[in-house]
Chains A and B, each alone.
Chain A
Amino acid sequence: MSRRRPEPELRLAAAVSLVLAAFVLAPIAIVVLGSVLPSTALGLASEAEPGWGSQLGAFRYLIQHYGLWLAMSGRIALLAVLIGLAIAAPAGYAFVRHPFPGSRILEELVLLPLSLPGIALSVALLAAYPDLRGSALVLAGHLLYTLPFFVRSVTSALRTRDIAELEAAARTLGASFGQRLRWIVLPTLQPALVLGALIVFTVSWGEFNVSYLLNSGPTQTFPAALYNTYANESFQRSSAATVIFLAGAAPALLAIQWLGGLGSGDAERSA
């Protein structure tokens, strides 16, 4: 069988995709190169150039000065995921299995924080919880941003599988509430919880507005370090900071891509 030449429309589409990909990837490539090369190599003038001998010096400098900020970002992102799981899974289950008058409206209201600008949300948080300080306040902000999404993915997973009916079947088969949770509800939720956790981690890791506005302490989250380096330091150092930031987000992003691929494969098989 001879291979057919692709249709002209397809070749055009491929070309457009390539140009778009290059457009999106070029800044990332420049940043990655910038973190190890002297900025003159990329044609960018810079003050306080550390010179050719210290390509990895920028990374060392960042870990020394912003290591605590990096740890704080990691801690807050992990806590946002754990607390989110602990709240969203039971709340989503309750919304689906034990709806009460107005629960559908409440479910919609939970989404409201997503539509607020960071500044409004921050002011609202400060007013609502005047006793919270520092990283606890930042964590509260991140939860406010990520919980709605988390609850949503739980409710939609439970509704798609008609969990009420699966549980009714499990009951007639003799399963107690605990057995139903363990063998029916949690396995049904697992893909949504894993995907939700990854997305919440990514969002929290990259959140800048609320974190920057709410944090009064000396140690900030890492996106604030990005801001600092771009504002005050060499291009090489800020590029290195960006590379560190991307390295933190990349595993979660790749996992999301991979799980998304699995999900669509499932859909194709069952269709």
Chain B
Amino acid sequence: MSARLEIDRLCKRYGAVAAVESLSHRFAPGKLTVIVGPSGSGKTTALSMIAGLVAPDTGRVTCDGEDITQRPAERRDFGVVFQSYALFPHMSVRENAEFGLRVRGVPAAARRQRANAALERVRIGALAERRIDQLSGGEQQRVALARALAYEPRVLLLDEPLSALDAQLREQLRVELLALLEALGLTAVYVTHDQVEAMALAHELIVMNAGRIEQRGAPQHVYAEPANRFVAGFLGSANLLDGVCSERGGRRVLALGFAQLELPNGAPSGSCCAVLRPEDLEIVETSSGHFAAVVEATSFLGDRVRLQLEAAGTRLLADAPSRVLPVRGERVGVRVRMSRLRLLPAEEKAR
């Protein structure tokens, strides 16, 4: 049975600074939940409180209905993978993997067998006798994971486990990690500042900022329908454009300064903020777009070209397929994929 992990109004202050303010969530049992946010958003503090390494000022942590807020880390039966791995340098790979079993008094033979199984599971069975300082970064990451899994923890907590690795290895380990967690059906919480990693891994995403949850939900949902400017700007790239919605001749119109866009009926009137992803702006003939713009800069990204555009004094980012290579200074037409346009209330601007 996958553990039901829940946090209820967790708070932690350091002096005058609130690291985490009233954080509540029911983690999906057997799934990977990713907490993502910029540094200082409180995500690592939140994870440490779940692990039992940091005591919350107020609030509760429960697991399978049991209040474990006061229970120290060593009696929670959770597995934790640290950002720096925190492997024991005076022990071999296998001794590291055996540690959780050793402190639980598992006899040597069974301990060895289970540690070996955990090492096999993360594909480093062959390195069992190595010393920690003889391993590469990726191998150390695998040892840390095996060590946290060997005693079959109720919950797995991961604090930026891939951030010390280079991009290619990170992507490979991400895929492996996801497959492993799905096979184990473990309730897992993963903290990262990397929004690409967060979206790639998460069953459910929690976006944190300044100690609070800004938005939560499936990554596709949070990306497509950001709740506010912070989420829109933090997850992926976005053009955040101030505009005014009004009624003109029986039609709803969004005035953006450089363009007038027709909106479906029902959109509220008044000032608003339009969110447009770069991939929602299509480069077309000058005559056929919603508006015209000048290409200020281009960056070739392999699968696509990111363009920086200028339209009547407003800067915009747009993605074009890499076979289309507009040149700097060229005048192009831009069409907005209206179905993707999202409007946020204008008050959000103050944040």
Judged by a CB distance under 8 angstroms, whether A174 is at the interface is: yes
Q: Which of A174, A179, A184, A269 contacts B151 (CB 8 A)?
A: A174
Kindly list chain A residues whose C-beta atoms are within 8 Å of the C-beta of B148.
172-173
Establish whether residues A172 and B53, one from each chain, have CB atoms under 8 Å apart when the complex forms.
yes
Establish whether residues A169 and B86, one from each chain, have CB atoms under 8 Å apart when the complex forms.
yes
Kindly list chain A residues whose C-beta atoms are within 8 Å of the C-beta of B100.
173-174
- Please report the C-alpha to C-alpha distance between residue A190 and residue B80 in the assembled complex, in whole angstroms: 27
Contact string against B for A residues 165-201, beta-carbon threshold 8 Å, 1 for contact and 0 otherwise: 1101111111110010001100110100000000000
Q: Which of A166, A172, A175 has the most CB of B within 10 A?
A: A172
Instruction: Please give me the residue from chain A that is nearest to B87 by CB atom.
Output: A169
Instruction: Please give me the residue from chain A that is nearest to B76 by CB atom.
Output: A172
With A165-B82, A270-B133: A174-B103 Cβ-Cβ less than 8 Å: yes
Kindly list chain A residues whose C-beta atoms are within 8 Å of the C-beta of B134.
269
- Please report the C-alpha to C-alpha distance between residue A169 and residue B89 in the assembled complex, in whole angstroms: 12
Judged by a CB distance under 8 angstroms, whether A60 is at the interface is: no
Judged by a CB distance under 8 angstroms, whether A159 is at the interface is: no
Kindly list chain B residues whose C-beta atoms are within 8 Å of the C-beta of A266.
133
Establish whether residues A173 and B53, one from each chain, have CB atoms under 8 Å apart when the complex forms.
no
- Please report the C-alpha to C-alpha distance between residue A24 and residue B133 in the assembled complex, in whole angstroms: 39
Kindly list chain B residues whose C-beta atoms are within 8 Å of the C-beta of A175.
74, 99, 103
Instruction: Please give me the residue from chain A that is nearest to B78 by CB atom.
Output: A172
- Please report the C-alpha to C-alpha distance between residue A269 and residue B130 in the assembled complex, in whole angstroms: 13
Tally of A interface residues using CB under 8 Å: 22
Establish whether residues A173 and B99, one from each chain, have CB atoms under 8 Å apart when the complex forms.
yes
Judged by a CB distance under 8 angstroms, whether A11 is at the interface is: no
Establish whether residues B75 and A174, one from each chain, have CB atoms under 8 Å apart when the complex forms.
yes
Kindly list chain A residues whose C-beta atoms are within 8 Å of the C-beta of B75.
174
Judged by a CB distance under 8 angstroms, whether B84 is at the interface is: yes
Judged by a CB distance under 8 angstroms, whether A133 is at the interface is: no
With A165-B84, A179-B103: A269-B133 Cβ-Cβ less than 8 Å: yes
Establish whether residues B74 and A176, one from each chain, have CB atoms under 8 Å apart when the complex forms.
yes
Judged by a CB distance under 8 angstroms, whether B88 is at the interface is: yes
Q: How far is the CB of A253 from chain B (nearest CB, A)?
A: 26
Judged by a CB distance under 8 angstroms, whether A161 is at the interface is: yes
Kindly list chain A residues whose C-beta atoms are within 8 Å of the C-beta of B74.
170-176
Q: How far is the CB of B72 from chain A (nearest CB, A)?
A: 7
Kindly list chain B residues whose C-beta atoms are within 8 Å of the C-beta of A162.
84, 86
Contact string against A for B residues 304-328, beta-carbon threshold 8 Å, 1 for contact and 0 otherwise: 0000000000000000000000000
- Please report the C-alpha to C-alpha distance between residue A3 and residue B100 in the assembled complex, in whole angstroms: 55
Kindly list chain B residues whose C-beta atoms are within 8 Å of the C-beta of A190.
90
Judged by a CB distance under 8 angstroms, whether B351 is at the interface is: no
List which B36-78 residues lie within 8 A (CB) of chain A. 51-53, 72-78
Q: Which of A168, A174, A183, A184 contacts B53 (CB 8 A)?
A: A168
Q: Which of B77, B89, B148 has the most CB of A within 10 A?
A: B89
Q: How far is the CB of B79 from chain A (nearest CB, A)?
A: 7
Kindly list chain B residues whose C-beta atoms are within 8 Å of the C-beta of A269.
133-134
Kindly list chain A residues whose C-beta atoms are within 8 Å of the C-beta of B248.
none
List which B326-345 residues lie within 8 A (CB) of chain A. none
Establish whether residues A171 and B90, one from each chain, have CB atoms under 8 Å apart when the complex forms.
no
Instruction: Please give me the residue from chain A that is nearest to B74 by CB atom.
Output: A171
Establish whether residues B90 and A172, one from each chain, have CB atoms under 8 Å apart when the complex forms.
no
Kindly list chain B residues whose C-beta atoms are within 8 Å of the C-beta of A165.
82, 84, 86
Q: How far is the CB of A155 from chain B (nearest CB, A)?
A: 18
- Please report the C-alpha to C-alpha distance between residue A188 and residue B86 in the assembled complex, in whole angstroms: 13
Kindly list chain A residues whose C-beta atoms are within 8 Å of the C-beta of B103.
170, 173-176, 179, 183
With A166-B88, A187-B90: A172-B99 Cβ-Cβ less than 8 Å: no
Kindly list chain A residues whose C-beta atoms are within 8 Å of the C-beta of B147.
173
List which A218-271 residues lie within 8 A (CB) of chain B. 266, 269-270
- Please report the C-alpha to C-alpha distance between residue A48 and residue B130 in the assembled complex, in whole angstroms: 65
Establish whether residues A174 and B88, one from each chain, have CB atoms under 8 Å apart when the complex forms.
no
Kindly list chain A residues whose C-beta atoms are within 8 Å of the C-beta of B77.
174
Instruction: Please give me the residue from chain B that is nearest to A169 by CB atom.
Output: B86
Instruction: Please give me the residue from chain B that is nearest to A186 by CB atom.
Output: B90
Contact string against A for B residues 142-170, beta-carbon threshold 8 Å, 1 for contact and 0 otherwise: 00000110010000010000000000000
Establish whether residues B79 and A170, one from each chain, have CB atoms under 8 Å apart when the complex forms.
no
Instruction: Please give me the residue from chain A that is nearest to B54 by CB atom.
Output: A168
3 smallest A-B Cβ distances: which pairs? A169-B86, A172-B80, A173-B100
8 further A-B pairs in the complex, CB-CB below 8 A; given A172-B148, A183-B103, A184-B88: A169-B80, A171-B72, A172-B80, A173-B79, A174-B74, A174-B151, A175-B74, A270-B133
A-B contact pairs, 27 of them (CB 8 A): A161-B89, A162-B86, A165-B82, A165-B84, A165-B86, A168-B86, A169-B80, A170-B74, A170-B88, A170-B99, A171-B52, A171-B72, A171-B73, A172-B76, A172-B78, A172-B79, A173-B103, A174-B74, A174-B100, A174-B104, A176-B74, A179-B103, A183-B88, A183-B103, A187-B90, A188-B90, A190-B90
Q: Which A positions have Cβ atoms within 8 angstroms of B?
A: 161-162, 165-166, 168-176, 179, 183-184, 187-188, 190, 266, 269-270
